[in-house]
Every structure is written in structure tokens, then in C-alpha cells.
Structure 1
Amino acid sequence: MKVQGKMFIWLSVFVLAMAVVYGVWSKEPAGTTALFLAFGLCIMIGYYLAFTARRIDAGAQDNKEADVADDAGEVGFFSPHSWQPLALGVGGALAFLSVAVGWWLLYFSAPILLIGLLGWVFEYYRGENQNQ
């Protein structure tokens, strides 16, 4: 985790330098703003990874003498199947389409988004996946 944090912090330094150079050289506001926003995202992720690395044990990627097999094991819990991301995708696509077509389409996409979001949040509190 320490390696990834350092990588993102160095990436944010690079993106900041490129944002300044690009802004001075091109005087184009959209690209400059995008690069400064990319800097902000990189520094947030790098800070989070560096902060989290201090609170957890060192991983295999932090040991220079580690083998690939040292990092094997359980990664985490993943849902076996869920239809809720499909509802969120359709609702999100319709919501973004409403910007181009007309705001009236948002009235149809908001309930689909709400159903998908609530279904995903409460997926393991009801039905066959309910915890005992």
C-alpha cells in the first residue's frame, strides 16, 4: 500500500507541473482546468493510500524480497450476482441523456436511479441474500 501511495503522490507532482506548463504555454482554460482537477484527484488518492498504509500491516508489495505467491489469498467479498448496477446504468444514461434531449426525461430517469440505488444498498437486507 505504501508503494501505491508514493506512486500517486509522485504522479500528482508530475500532473501539477504539466498543468502549470500547459496553462502558461497554451492559455487554454478547459485543458488547464482538467489538468488541475486531475492533480486534485491524484493527490486525494495518494493521500488516502499513504494514510491507510500507516494504519495497516505491510503487504507483500512493500517487501522487496517477497515473491508473487506471498500476496496470494482472499481478496474480499464480491456479490455473486446483482441486477441493481444495470438499473443504475440505465437510469444514469437516461439522466445524462436528459441534458441533451430535454429535462423532462429526468422525470423518468430519477425513479429508475432511485430504485437501482435503494436496491443495491439494501440488497443483503432482504430476499434470498438476507443475513440470518
Structure 2
Amino acid sequence: MFRDDDLALLTRPLYAFLTVAPKADRWPAPRPVWFEVTDGGDLQMFSVQGAPKLARLREQPRASVVVASPTGEPERWVAAEGPVTLHDDGGLELATRLAGRYYGPLDADQQKLLDDWRETGVVRIVLRPEKVSRFAI
């Protein structure tokens, strides 16, 4: 579903803003997440065990993400929405790989964060895009 020009944006170390269904008394609240595009065209993210977004995704396994170009570049964004699956396998490996993508070589504080995630447990979130929207100037 992603075009080559979408992938040019999505393969950069930019934040995706993940939106899940909110609790009944709350508004949707997007959260910045690290992500990658799989070879099959899905979006993979992760979260630590116990995060509220995981409970909401278990109740309603659908989400959307949007990724935008940074300030100072021509305006461009890609949004995807679709069903989500949660996986207990591969979460820590994904988090480690994305830490390298977003941080580069890890300093002591960043390594401690990965160690904390290892202790807490990491869930891999996979969004299969059913609809993709885009805009570019």
C-alpha cells in the first residue's frame, strides 16, 4: 500500500504518532513511537508490558499512525490505519534494532533504558495498513 515516495519518508528515523481507541471518558491522544516498515508493508512498533495503549488495543485492535516531515523541510506526511496484532515475540529485538536507528551508538543512559525494557517486557505491535493517506507539497 505504500508508494516509493511514502517509503522515502517512512524509512527515515522519524516519530510516528500512534492513535488508539480511547477509554470511554477520554479523547483520542496520539503518542509518539518508534517504528519500522516490514518487508511485507506492515508497520511495527513496540510498547512495554502494562502500557494503557496495549489494554485499549486488546479491546479494539485497530489504530492509526501518521508520520510527518520535520520542520524546515517541505510539508509531507503519510497516514495509515488498520487492524493491529500484538505479539509477545520479537519485541525486545525490535526495540533494540530501533534504538540503533533512532539513537545510533547507545550511551549508558540509553543502554539502561533497553535493560529496563528487557526487565519489564516488550510487546511488538504490528499495524497492517488498510487505508493510506498522504500529502506532499
- TM-score of the two chains, using structure 2 as the length reference: 0.21
Which of these two proteins has the greater Rg computed from alpha carbons?
1
Q: Which has the higher strand share?
A: 2
Larger relative contact order (C-alpha < 8 A, sep ≥ 6)?
2
- TM-score of the two chains, using structure 1 as the length reference: 0.21
